[in-house]
Amino acid sequence: MRDKYLYFGLNVAGTEAFDNHAAQTLQLTTGFVNPIPVGVNYLANGGAKVTVTYNAEHTYGTAYAGMTGEIDITKGCTIHVTSALITIATAAADPVYGWTKSGTANNNDLDVTQLKPYDTGDCFVYNSRYLRGMHYQTTTTTELHFQGKTGDVGALDDVDTITVTHGATKHKEFIGGLSDILADDKAVSGMVVVADNMRGIFTPHDQAAIASVAQTATAS
């Protein structure tokens, strides 16, 4: 049985709404996520997306067609390296990816949504060889016990527990689905996303209906 890396994305995606917005800039705050992201490449590297609700009074670059609903204008945006101030290029400044706000603030509704983890505790990855057991906790939760990330058996926090919240009385289905993944040497290899709250991706895709995951470190 090959080793597999089991990915658990714990935190939900941060989002910040800028409704009735009058500026061509968006200032992220701790209302987005705490701490706010830093780095000039955060948007370019897919860390978050910027969307705007289409309005006929907006001006869009040539890259946008068939516009309706939420329009992704991330490619027209830059973010300050430290302040997390997002600047949106106007359609005049960037004829391809730019966007120009309406002069009526009520017509400008934008959202910034996190796409990737970046903060401590956003996600954990465990090698399947360190899975020590799976435990029924309640009718809607199952615990997975891993050897602590420090690798020090007997240390203060030598057991890492991933708590999976799933459908009622679906412990058996969840355990069976995960066991199939661990035992499958042909179809499953490398890193396996068991649960990712940020992107809403959950495996195994069975009746377990995973709702969320959480992690704690304890002494055995």
Model confidence at 192: pLDDT above 70: yes
Rounded to 10 degrees, the C-alpha dihedral 102/106/111/112 comes to 70
Q: What is the pLDDT of residue 21?
A: 97
How many CB atoms within 10 Å of residue 99? Answer: 25
Model confidence at 86: pLDDT above 80: yes
Asked whether the whole model's pTM tops 0.85, one would answer no
* Res. 182 pLDDT band, cuts 50 70 90: confident
CB-based contact 211:166 (threshold 8 Å) = yes
The pLDDT mean for the chain works out to 87
Query: Can the peptide bond before residue 204 be classed as cis, meaning omega within 30 degrees of 0?
Result: yes
Separation between Cα atoms, residue 14 and residue 29, nearest integer Å? 11
Model confidence at 105: pLDDT above 70: yes
Name the range with the highest mean pLDDT among 18-27, 177-186, 195-204, 207-216: 18-27
Q: What is the pLDDT of residue 148?
A: 78
* Res. 156 pLDDT band, cuts 50 70 90: low
